[in-house]
Amino acid sequence: MKSIFAPFDESFKEEFYRLLHARRSIRKFKKDPLSKELLEKLLAAAMEAPSGKNRQNWRFFVLTGKNREEYLSLSQKSWLGIKDILEKRLKPSLYQFTERFFYTLGDAPVVVLCYSQNDSEERYHTSIGSVYMAVENLNLAAVAEGLGACTMGAPLEIKKEVDEFLGVTELPEYQSGNLELLCAVVLGYPDHDPPKAPRQLDHRVQWLED
């Protein structure tokens, strides 16, 4: 039986690092729908992530079609909580582009709301960290499938309203205070090719050597 730790060939390794470099936040999509089979494949890839105490505490709520359209009003409202900060950070043209994205979600056909189911047997930051590792898997799997993705923290501006929209407020794990919204990911076929912001390497790594 071949070990899963056997060395990968050079061409695969080159493609893997190309995949990492190719990932970027896409904010303009084609309206083409994604099949349920493809979405299931992406979510299965997400759930290959490691998790604290193997609790696999991620919970995903997938919006398409009418539910996705109804969610748009919440996306627009979440913009109000961050627009002033972004206006200071972005050039006017990019600010306007970002505002349009929040009002249309860039025509992305799929929205995935990502939650952590926390409990007293695991530290809080380990629990939410496990979900974010799954979210990164989702991003990379999307790129591998020729899709684009954008991870959004803006839903946290209106967390309670998102919870109510999804109906999670009726779940026992929510009522006990253990189900927490962390982010959204929009998915679809990309309709632009934005530049990737250069990685800032200075003062990001400190070596402690003998």
Which tokens belong to 135? Answer: 């979210």
Give every CB contact of residue 103 below 8 A, 6+ residues apart in sequence: 72, 75, 76, 79
Which tokens belong to 45? Answer: 């890839």
pLDDT digits (tens, 9 = 90+) for 101-117: 999 999 999 999 999 99
- What's the Cα-to-Cα distance from 172 to each of 11, 61, 111, 178, rounded to whole Å? 48, 16, 24, 9
pLDDT-based confidence at 153, cuts 50/70/90? very high
pLDDT above 70: residue 121: yes
Identity (one letter) of the amino acid at 153?
A: G
- What's the Cα-to-Cα distance from 164 to each of 69, 96, 125, 155, rounded to whole Å? 16, 29, 24, 12
Residues 110, 26: contact at Cβ < 8 Å? no
Residues 60, 111: contact at Cβ < 8 Å? no
pLDDT digits (tens, 9 = 90+) for 6-52: 788 999 999 999 999 999 999 999 999 999 999 999 999 999 999 99
Instruction: Map out the domains of the chain with their CATH numbers.
Output: 26-188 (3.40.109.10)
**pLDDT, the chain, mean:** 96
Q: What is the pLDDT of residue 6?
A: 76
Q: What is the pLDDT of residue 1?
A: 61
